[in-house]
Structure 1
Amino acid sequence: MSHDEWDERDDEARLRAERIAAETVERSLAPYRGLVPEEMLAQLREAIEDELVNNPCSAALLRQLTARPAPASSGEVPIEGAPPYGRDRDRHGGAAGGGWEGA
Protein backbone atom coordinates (compact mmCIF):
# COMPACT_ATOMS: atom_id res chain seq x y z
CA MET A 1 0.00 0.00 0.00
CA SER A 2 1.41 3.37 -0.96
CA HIS A 3 2.04 6.23 1.45
CA ASP A 4 -0.81 8.20 -0.13
CA GLU A 5 -3.21 5.29 0.43
CA TRP A 6 -2.20 5.13 4.11
CA ASP A 7 -2.71 8.89 4.43
CA GLU A 8 -6.12 8.51 2.81
CA ARG A 9 -7.04 5.69 5.24
CA ASP A 10 -5.85 7.78 8.20
CA ASP A 11 -7.92 10.73 6.97
CA GLU A 12 -10.99 8.49 6.63
CA ALA A 13 -10.47 7.11 10.15
CA ARG A 14 -10.02 10.62 11.54
CA LEU A 15 -13.21 11.81 9.84
CA ARG A 16 -15.14 8.79 11.19
CA ALA A 17 -13.80 9.52 14.69
CA GLU A 18 -14.82 13.16 14.43
CA ARG A 19 -18.30 12.20 13.18
CA ILE A 20 -18.79 9.64 15.97
CA ALA A 21 -17.59 12.13 18.59
CA ALA A 22 -19.89 14.87 17.24
CA GLU A 23 -22.89 12.50 17.21
CA THR A 24 -22.11 11.39 20.77
CA VAL A 25 -21.89 14.98 21.98
CA GLU A 26 -25.17 15.93 20.28
CA ARG A 27 -27.00 12.90 21.76
CA SER A 28 -25.62 13.78 25.19
CA LEU A 29 -26.74 17.41 24.97
CA ALA A 30 -30.19 16.77 23.47
CA PRO A 31 -32.05 16.29 26.80
CA TYR A 32 -30.75 19.64 28.07
CA ARG A 33 -31.66 21.79 25.06
CA GLY A 34 -34.28 24.33 26.01
CA LEU A 35 -33.83 23.58 29.72
CA VAL A 36 -30.47 25.20 30.42
CA PRO A 37 -28.84 28.41 29.15
CA GLU A 38 -26.68 28.30 26.01
CA GLU A 39 -23.56 29.07 28.07
CA MET A 40 -24.13 25.92 30.10
CA LEU A 41 -24.64 23.88 26.93
CA ALA A 42 -21.32 25.21 25.64
CA GLN A 43 -19.61 24.20 28.90
CA LEU A 44 -21.21 20.75 28.77
CA ARG A 45 -20.12 20.34 25.14
CA GLU A 46 -16.54 21.21 26.04
CA ALA A 47 -16.52 18.83 29.02
CA ILE A 48 -17.94 15.93 26.97
CA GLU A 49 -15.51 16.50 24.09
CA ASP A 50 -12.60 16.69 26.53
CA GLU A 51 -13.67 13.44 28.21
CA LEU A 52 -14.08 11.62 24.88
CA VAL A 53 -10.57 12.58 23.77
CA ASN A 54 -8.57 12.57 27.00
CA ASN A 55 -10.05 9.70 29.02
CA PRO A 56 -8.00 6.58 28.16
CA CYS A 57 -11.06 4.31 28.16
CA SER A 58 -13.27 6.47 25.94
CA ALA A 59 -10.35 7.31 23.62
CA ALA A 60 -9.59 3.57 23.22
CA LEU A 61 -13.24 2.82 22.45
CA LEU A 62 -13.34 5.63 19.92
CA ARG A 63 -10.20 4.23 18.24
CA GLN A 64 -11.82 0.78 18.08
CA LEU A 65 -14.94 2.19 16.48
CA THR A 66 -12.93 4.01 13.84
CA ALA A 67 -10.16 1.48 13.21
CA ARG A 68 -11.75 0.19 10.03
CA PRO A 69 -15.19 0.14 8.48
CA ALA A 70 -17.38 -2.91 8.91
CA PRO A 71 -16.87 -5.51 6.18
CA ALA A 72 -19.55 -5.99 3.53
CA SER A 73 -19.63 -9.74 4.21
CA SER A 74 -18.21 -12.22 6.69
CA GLY A 75 -15.13 -14.31 6.00
CA GLU A 76 -11.37 -14.20 6.30
CA VAL A 77 -9.25 -11.35 5.03
CA PRO A 78 -5.45 -11.13 4.94
CA ILE A 79 -3.78 -8.92 7.55
CA GLU A 80 -1.53 -6.42 5.82
CA GLY A 81 2.15 -7.08 6.41
CA ALA A 82 1.60 -10.44 8.15
CA PRO A 83 3.35 -13.56 6.87
CA PRO A 84 0.80 -15.73 5.05
CA TYR A 85 0.93 -18.66 7.51
CA GLY A 86 2.27 -17.05 10.67
CA ARG A 87 5.78 -16.89 12.00
CA ASP A 88 7.86 -20.07 11.63
CA ARG A 89 4.83 -22.22 10.79
CA ASP A 90 3.61 -23.87 7.67
CA ARG A 91 -0.02 -23.70 6.73
CA HIS A 92 -0.88 -26.85 8.75
CA GLY A 93 1.03 -25.79 11.89
CA GLY A 94 -2.02 -24.35 13.61
CA ALA A 95 -0.28 -21.23 14.90
CA ALA A 96 -2.51 -18.36 15.93
CA GLY A 97 -1.97 -15.14 14.03
CA GLY A 98 -1.40 -16.87 10.73
CA GLY A 99 -1.87 -13.76 8.66
CA TRP A 100 -5.65 -13.94 8.50
CA GLU A 101 -8.38 -12.49 10.65
CA GLY A 102 -12.13 -12.92 10.76
CA ALA A 103 -14.24 -10.28 9.11
Structure 2
Amino acid sequence: MTTDQHLPENDGYKHRHRHEGPQRHIVVFILSIVLTLIAFAAVAAGGVNATFAIILLLVMAVIQVIVQMGFWMHLKDKGHLIPIIFMLGGFFAAGTCIIMSLYWVWWN
Protein backbone atom coordinates (compact mmCIF):
# COMPACT_ATOMS: atom_id res chain seq x y z
CA MET A 1 0.00 0.00 0.00
CA THR A 2 1.42 3.42 -0.89
CA THR A 3 1.63 6.30 1.56
CA ASP A 4 -0.51 8.68 -0.48
CA GLN A 5 -3.70 6.59 -0.36
CA HIS A 6 -6.32 7.51 2.20
CA LEU A 7 -7.33 4.83 4.66
CA PRO A 8 -10.29 4.77 7.04
CA GLU A 9 -9.51 5.95 10.59
CA ASN A 10 -10.09 2.61 12.36
CA ASP A 11 -8.30 0.20 10.06
CA GLY A 12 -5.19 -0.22 12.22
CA TYR A 13 -2.76 1.44 9.80
CA LYS A 14 -0.76 4.49 10.75
CA HIS A 15 -1.14 7.47 8.45
CA ARG A 16 2.10 8.85 7.09
CA HIS A 17 2.78 12.13 5.38
CA ARG A 18 4.40 12.13 1.98
CA HIS A 19 8.01 13.20 2.06
CA GLU A 20 8.61 16.22 -0.18
CA GLY A 21 12.20 15.48 -1.06
CA PRO A 22 14.91 18.01 -1.85
CA GLN A 23 13.57 19.12 -5.24
CA ARG A 24 11.14 21.71 -3.88
CA HIS A 25 13.71 23.00 -1.40
CA ILE A 26 16.26 23.48 -4.16
CA VAL A 27 13.74 25.40 -6.29
CA VAL A 28 12.78 27.62 -3.35
CA PHE A 29 16.44 28.22 -2.51
CA ILE A 30 17.13 29.28 -6.11
CA LEU A 31 14.05 31.55 -6.01
CA SER A 32 15.36 33.17 -2.82
CA ILE A 33 18.75 33.76 -4.43
CA VAL A 34 17.12 35.27 -7.56
CA LEU A 35 14.98 37.62 -5.44
CA THR A 36 18.07 38.71 -3.52
CA LEU A 37 20.02 39.29 -6.75
CA ILE A 38 17.18 41.39 -8.21
CA ALA A 39 17.11 43.58 -5.10
CA PHE A 40 20.91 43.89 -5.09
CA ALA A 41 21.02 44.74 -8.81
CA ALA A 42 18.42 47.48 -8.36
CA VAL A 43 20.57 49.20 -5.74
CA ALA A 44 23.96 48.48 -7.34
CA ALA A 45 22.86 49.82 -10.75
CA GLY A 46 23.09 53.36 -9.46
CA GLY A 47 21.02 54.90 -12.26
CA VAL A 48 17.72 53.62 -10.88
CA ASN A 49 15.26 56.14 -9.47
CA ALA A 50 15.43 56.09 -5.66
CA THR A 51 11.66 55.81 -5.24
CA PHE A 52 11.50 52.88 -7.66
CA ALA A 53 14.41 51.17 -5.88
CA ILE A 54 12.73 51.52 -2.48
CA ILE A 55 9.42 50.18 -3.77
CA LEU A 56 11.20 47.30 -5.52
CA LEU A 57 13.14 46.46 -2.35
CA LEU A 58 9.95 46.44 -0.29
CA VAL A 59 8.16 44.20 -2.81
CA MET A 60 11.15 41.82 -2.94
CA ALA A 61 11.27 41.78 0.88
CA VAL A 62 7.57 40.87 1.15
CA ILE A 63 7.93 38.11 -1.46
CA GLN A 64 11.04 36.85 0.32
CA VAL A 65 9.20 36.72 3.67
CA ILE A 66 6.32 34.77 2.12
CA VAL A 67 8.71 32.30 0.48
CA GLN A 68 10.77 31.87 3.65
CA MET A 69 7.77 31.37 5.92
CA GLY A 70 5.87 29.17 3.52
CA PHE A 71 8.62 26.75 2.66
CA TRP A 72 11.40 26.95 5.24
CA MET A 73 9.07 27.35 8.23
CA HIS A 74 6.49 24.95 6.69
CA LEU A 75 3.56 27.32 7.17
CA LYS A 76 2.07 26.04 3.90
CA ASP A 77 1.36 22.67 5.56
CA LYS A 78 -1.88 21.69 7.27
CA GLY A 79 -2.32 22.51 10.94
CA HIS A 80 -0.48 25.85 10.92
CA LEU A 81 -3.48 28.17 10.87
CA ILE A 82 -3.08 29.41 14.46
CA PRO A 83 0.60 30.46 14.01
CA ILE A 84 -0.34 32.19 10.76
CA ILE A 85 -3.20 34.09 12.46
CA PHE A 86 -0.91 35.19 15.30
CA MET A 87 1.81 36.30 12.87
CA LEU A 88 -0.71 38.28 10.82
CA GLY A 89 -1.93 39.90 14.03
CA GLY A 90 1.65 40.80 14.91
CA PHE A 91 2.25 42.25 11.45
CA PHE A 92 -0.94 44.29 11.78
CA ALA A 93 0.07 45.60 15.23
CA ALA A 94 3.61 46.43 14.06
CA GLY A 95 2.30 48.10 10.91
CA THR A 96 -0.15 50.16 12.94
CA CYS A 97 2.66 51.28 15.27
CA ILE A 98 4.89 52.24 12.35
CA ILE A 99 2.13 54.20 10.61
CA MET A 100 1.19 56.02 13.81
CA SER A 101 4.86 56.84 14.53
CA LEU A 102 5.27 58.30 11.06
CA TYR A 103 2.06 60.28 11.50
CA TRP A 104 3.21 61.73 14.82
CA VAL A 105 6.67 62.63 13.53
CA TRP A 106 5.73 64.22 10.21
CA TRP A 107 2.24 65.62 10.60
CA ASN A 108 2.10 66.89 14.16
TM range, normalised to the smaller chain? 0.3 to 0.5
Name which structure has the greater RCO, CA cutoff 8 Å, separation 6+: 1
Decide which structure has greater helix share: 2
Decide which structure has greater strand share: 1
What is the TM-score of this pair, normalised by structure 1?
0.32
